[in-house]
Structure 1
């Protein structure tokens, strides 16, 4: 399992160098050398880890049949296989792509025709055909001040292609995470830090303004939140065991020590009756995996506690 201390922007699903080598049919040492040269995005944290390659059903099926993939990697690929032909997923990707295109600062500077093409067509999905204008640029210095119109059109198309690709990739990542978070299996296979980060993203959908804390000196707080002007603290328990009353008592102490108005315990394994009894009449809220899935689907599970002035 990837260590909890792994913190690398862009490595949403980091794989061990050996796992990557198996998936790509490479030698593990070649993968490590590529990381060190900067050819692959990677990090060293008790071993080399790299960004997962694009999903490939053919490679996945072959390696699964040969039983060469580790369970965590198998699960990662299976989750993506479930989305491969999902029409709702494809529709959501396109909706998000249009949203990201409209939100990009470059979009407002484009002519109306280019804006329409980016939103309503796939004209810029493919890389434009290159125009070799380098030779002419070196023949006459004045050409640099008066470029060939065809070459200018190529540069414009290239910029539009980059904008299309950037927003399309962002939309695919966002839609994939949104769909996977609706599946119980997604939450069951996250490590500690991934569980915290995914929880924060779900809370952010419901007015909580989350901030994931870093390191071990967090004072028992995994996520800091605010809602309705009230400060809250969140503890995430990624283990499968039920949370008992001692965890609720500890959080109650953290609430008072930190000056928070409320606390939330998010547990993958649920809660014992003792924990529920202790939290009664206290500003402590419980969230389990079923609640996380409901919140991901749009239901504000915790909203009632704020509207009824229970906090």
Structure 2
């Protein structure tokens, strides 16, 4: 059995893509996963060895320890493939080891609030790609942005959290994801405006569940707005929920909310939750970023701007047209993006290809 090493600064189980690769390839590859210990609840997958590297308050020392651990483990195990989820400084591994099959995987460009920092970090990323022969990318827009020509597309995926038949009568919205830098309060304000536009008798069937948290005071601001405006009967916040506990929320929903600010640093960011809404048969209300615009059409949702006014008009349209959508067809259309299919039909053949070079 061939050996695969996955390297990430994210703790095992908290970067969904690499976690799913490990889960769906564990029967065919001997998988080791080296990551930083971020102090989060530890997760396990049978037959996957996880090696945790302790963080140090001095970041360069943490990087040194991570790289040293990888080098020692590779020397001991002689991995057939080394799959690196990009982080600043990862090219040092390739510089030190020119013989191993090392794959650089890029899931995102920099999404800091400062455009200067984003440009700077993206230039570092571009420079580091020069050291790698094998590169996988989540989307073509990233390749265009950093001027990369040779790469393997390894698209974003999702799980089908619900296969339950969706009820058309209710109008039940669901947002799952981070609240940081997403301006979800703007969506809440648009939802509030839409709710007030409905006849009183129709409002009882309208709900909005927000699953997630942020590193600022976003959740508190949303809760305050809900309380101040008497919206507790219609809007619920849950805080962070583990990925394997999301099914109950998807089962109750029929509208998925993919509200991503339309900014330069989010334009090329493929939206994980958009895929998961669609795979679960939810109609999607999504901001019209470049990546969302590739997925959402007349048969599966509505595109909007990132303003409360556009949220309101999008909801008005969805509410009026809600009976025209076919949840089963929506779910079936995106089956290629199930994590199992991406792992088995794209990543696995790619690994076999570079092994035989």
**What band does the TM-score fall into relative to the shorter chain?**
under 0.3
Q: Which structure has more RCO (C-alpha within 8 Å, separation ≥ 6)?
A: 2
The two structures have a TM-score, normalised by structure 1, of 0.26
Higher strand share: 2
**Max Rg structure:** 1
